[in-house]
Amino acid sequence: MLLTITYTGQNTAELGYLLYKNPNRAQVFELNHGRAYVFYPEVTFERTTAALLLDLDPIDLARGKVGSTGGGLFDYVNDRPYVSSSFLSTAISKVFGTAITGRADAHQALSDTPIDLTATLTMLPCRGEQGKLHSVFEPLGYAVSYETFISDESFPDWGESKYVNLTIRGTLRLRDLLKHLYVLIPVFDRQKHYWVGEDEVEKLLRLGSDWLPEHPERAYIMNRYLNRRRALVNMAFARLAADDAPDEAEEPAEKPEKKQTLNAQRLGSVVAALKSSNVARVIDLGCGEGNLLQLLARERQFTQIAGVDVSHVALQRAVDKLKLEHAGDAQRARVQLMQGSLTYKDARFAGYDAACVVEVIEHLDLPRLTAFERVLFEFTKPPLVILTTPNREYNAHYENLYAGDLRHGDHRFEWTRAEFRTWAAKIAQNFGYTVHFSEIGDADAVCGAPTQMGVFTLSAHAHNEIPRSEEAGLYAR
Ligand code: SAH
């Protein structure tokens, strides 16, 4: 699929500076499921067009990349390689990551100026919703036109195709156009290829901050962008409303905290992922002082809650936090704490629908990680595993860390996004899981977000399979 952006005016080749892409050179970018190409089909004084061509590998999408299980998201016969979809949004953020922030160094003035821009999107899925193209794009200042097709000329009965070629034209800053496209492509295309979790609420509010609160179709946009996940949509609405609220001059004291701490966002994302998968029995491995357990205990969906930690002191604090000393019999039966180590096989870990491992693996010595992998994914084998760990690339944002430092004195390692994904994909493949990734916390285009999360789902056929691991390393005892 193809996105073109045309700048008309004077000296229009400067579009290259705003996009950080040289008009004289075609460039290729490797993406998870294919490649993106950027090139300029026309460069004249009055008119310059940049094109982003996305070439997805349909086999990768169906089967997953060689050596990974990150794919396998779609059927073999799927429309993904041919349509403007969430993959195109991901490519926009990856390829035009700086442009979307509006930073343009020597060309800042141009970047800050509304200019005459036209964007075309080929094959945007839009079944029966062409009216929405107008009501969504026009309030943002675009003139909207689109081309429709009949599905197959030999079979006129099949009617119109669900895809349109869309053209929008307006006078606006380039970064605004990119933000609109990033958010609105997946609004029309309903089949998102990523896990829609709380981090998507963050992203939506961040990229929509200038235009979404006032948009007459904001409910439709939020609902669709967040995949109609009611809890997330409600959260987005609440945050928008909080941001809208006039400052109460008389009562400056208790302003609602708009920004959650990273820890709160992380635990919130884990709870959201658990709630959306209808699990009832949850075990928190490396539960520490019980922050996650406390959130889980508030939700009636979770009928059995357990926490495991190696640290007696941490468990003692969890007992206090959860007020277990004074709890009634039902609550004591519902919430259990156990001292144990994640690198030793332990029958008490079995029987839960989901296991959470939140900011724990980086505390394990790397040579013991294999033992942990086997304990959890081979012997315990819960149907769902939610695991988070720091994204080392983000450390560049922490001013008090020197290059190469880790975030915490007890961390034995921290992984880049690529390292985490490679590890997780290998685990998934060895033990019969599929894994989806998401990011937690404020992300930037270059380093990503501070925390990374993998959600592992046990494949149906792997439930009864006798696990076989190729690892010859340290065995769990
Ligand atoms: N999940 C908690 C705590 C993270 S800190 C939270 O998000 O707040 C990491 C925790 O892992 C610590 O409480 C530490 O005691 C525990 N831990 C480290 N190595 C462990 C091991 N081998 N087995 C069990 N727990 C371990």
Q: Tell me the pLDDT tens digit for each residue of 165-208.
A: 999 999 999 999 999 999 999 899 877 666 777 788 888 999 99
β-pairing, 304-309 vs 384-390, is unpaired
CA–CA dist 441, 448 (Å, integer):
9
The string of DSSP letters for 288-341 reads TTTHHHHHHHT-TT--EEEEEES-HHHHHHHHHHTT-TT--HHHHHHEEEEE--
Q: Does residue 262 have its Cβ closer than 6 Å to ligand 1?
A: no
Residues β-bridged to residue 458: 433
Q: Does residue 360 have its Cβ closer than 6 Å to ligand 1?
A: yes
Closest C-alpha to ligand 1, atom 23 = 341
pLDDT for position 249: 36
Residue 271 · residue 248 · CB < 8 Å: no
Q: How confident is the model at residue 350 (pLDDT cuts 50, 70, 90)?
A: very high
Q: Tell me the pLDDT tens digit for each residue of 41-83.
A: 999 999 999 999 998 876 665 555 555 444 445 555 666 667 7
Q: What is the SS3 assignment for 150?
A: strand
Q: How many angstroms is it from 263 CA to the middle of ligand 1?
A: 14
- The order of strands in the sheet holding 384-390 is 335-339, 304-309, 281-285, 354-358, 384-390, 451-458, 433-440
pLDDT for position 130: 87
Q: How many CA atoms lie within 13 A of 320 on its CB side?
A: 7
Q: Does residue 440 have its Cβ closer than 6 Å to ligand 1?
A: no
Average the pLDDT over each of 1-5, 113-117, 188-192, 222-226 and give the range with the smallest value. 188-192
Q: Does residue 358 have its Cβ closer than 6 Å to ligand 1?
A: yes
Q: How confident is the model at residue 243 (pLDDT cuts 50, 70, 90)?
A: low
Judged against a pLDDT cut of 50, whether residue 421 lies above it is answered with yes
Q: Tell me the pLDDT tens digit for each residue of 94-147.
A: 899 999 999 998 999 999 999 999 999 988 888 778 889 999 999 999 999 998
Q: How many angstroms is it from 357 CA to the middle of ligand 1?
A: 8
Q: Which atom of ligand 1 is nearest to the CA of 343?
A: 22
The helix, strand and coil proportions of the chain, stated in percent and rounded to the nearest 5, come to: 40, 25, 40
More confident residue, 259 or 274: 274
DSSP assignment letter at 441: S
Residues β-bridged to residue 18: none
Q: How far is CA 1 from CA 77, 79, 91, 129, 464, in A?
A: 17, 11, 11, 20, 41
CA–CA dist 171, 174 (Å, integer):
9
Q: How many angstroms is it from 411 CA to the middle of ligand 1?
A: 11
| Residue percentage of the chain with pLDDT more than 90 | 59
